[in-house]
Amino acid sequence: MWLAPQQGMRLDSGGSGIIRFLCRQAGWENARVRRTIPFFNYPALFASSEDTYLDTIRRVLAAGKYILQEDLERFERNLAAWLGVGHVIGVGSGTDALLLALRAAGVKPGDEVIMPSHTFVATGSAVHYAGAVPVLVDVRDDHLIDPAAVRRAVTPRTRAVVPVQLNGRTGEMDTLQEIAVENGLVIIEDAAQALGSQYDGRKAGTFGVAAGFSFYPAKLLGCFGDGGAVATDNDTVAERVRRLRDHGRAQDYGVREWSYNSRLDNLQAAILDQKLAILDDALSRRRAIAALYHERLSRLPGLLLPPPPGTGGRHFDVFQNYEIEAERRDELRNFLAENGVGTIIQWGGRAIHQFPALGFEVDLPVTDRIMAASLLLPMNTALTDEDVLYICDLFDTFYGD
Ligand SMILES: *Cc1c(COP(=O)(O)O)cnc(C)c1O
């Protein structure tokens, strides 16, 4: 499909030389060539390092080493060093990482755990399956948990707070740490979207007693399936998570408590270790894409953008997602789709308190406002600058340059 040439549209945002040549021949000086930009291009990311992935897969399969083997241990050591924590324990998913971290940190049935509603349901289900009660609070304009709301939600039954470091940004952790100390709470970070993000020079996942990371394929560090990890500096918590991921068994195979099976596959760990080696480059690329979006989109009315990289002072953001709030969001989304650009409304457009089946009755105005207007634009290392400029051109057209 070709867009009709229009005033103000630029040719330089896409297409091969030959197409540009033909456009010029046809007098379509201002034609924009249609692109197809999926929200997340899984096949392209595989293709970008296909040979190395296949070498890794062949090596691990040929060695017959599948469960709790050296590749897993090596990845756990390398990720712990990269984060600057004592221990990383690979588990079956980000959800399990949170559940096992909560249990290992001593969260017990009947405890209350304060967390934002503005998160994937997994944060809440981890709290629920630890036997605790999720207490949902509001977020601030940067989509992260509001420390003042945490303070107001504390009761004698509160045991923990789970800040969600959303979209690649880490919250105001010094204030949360003060609140935790004052009230005798533990902090367990949901860092599923924040690997490599920093606050005050410290990485997400190093602020509390433990943190959960996810290696879901579209996450900052993704594998070819499900995977996750717990990070902790606490030796006792680490030892307990190692038991909890393996049926509650200790090194001597003695079962110390009830648990179940949630181990990170050795094969996935080998692939993750390969990708960890280039993670810093991937995060820089995401920040560059965010800067490009910001430069172009900040000129337009009707949009709220995330803070651009490099201006955050205490924040170092890694842009797991580029989440905007947009006027006429649904219309915009359709317009982008008609022009080949895939977008996503995070969590199907609902925060946890907005699912009636879960039975919450709370008033969270900022979360409600965000969910009604938010949209995730393509943000991944398969995007070219030209892709981003094409998307920004579409915004110019939609909001009337
Ligand atoms: C992805 C995600 C999770 C869960 O991770 P899985 O690996 O999919 O289980 C938890 N919390 C947040 C904020 C996430 O984005």
Which residue, judged by its Cα, is nearest atom 7 of ligand 1? Answer: 94
Res. 27: pLDDT tops 80: no
Pocket test for ligand 1, best of 117, 162, 193, 272 (most atoms within 8 A of CB): 193
pLDDT interval class at 32 (50, 70, 90): confident
Ligand 1 geometric centre to CA of 119 (Å): 9
Output the pLDDT for position 361: 96
pLDDT tens-digit readout, 86-105: 999 999 999 999 999 999 99
* Domains, the chain, with CATH or none: 1-34 (no CATH), 47-276 (3.40.640.10), 279-400 (3.90.1150.10)
Inter-residue contact 197 to 221 (CB < 8 Å): no
Task: Indicate the pTM of the whole model.
Answer: 0.92
* pLDDT tops 70 at residue 278: yes
Q: H/E/C letters for each residue in 194-219?
A: CCCCEECCEECCCCCCEEEEECCCCC
For ligand 1, what atom is nearest to the CA of residue 96?
9
Average pLDDT over residues 271-284: 98
Check whether 167 has a pLDDT greater than 90: yes
Q: What is the per-residue pLDDT across 106-122, written as a single tens digit (0 to 9) for each?
A: 999 999 999 999 999 99
57-62 long-range Cβ contacts below 8 angstroms, 24+ apart: 57/267, 57/270, 57/271, 59/270, 60/266, 60/267, 60/270, 61/267
How far the first Cα of the chain sits from its last, in Å, is: 23
Å from CA of 191 to ligand 1 middle: 8
Q: Which two tokens stand for residue 50?
A: 């296909």
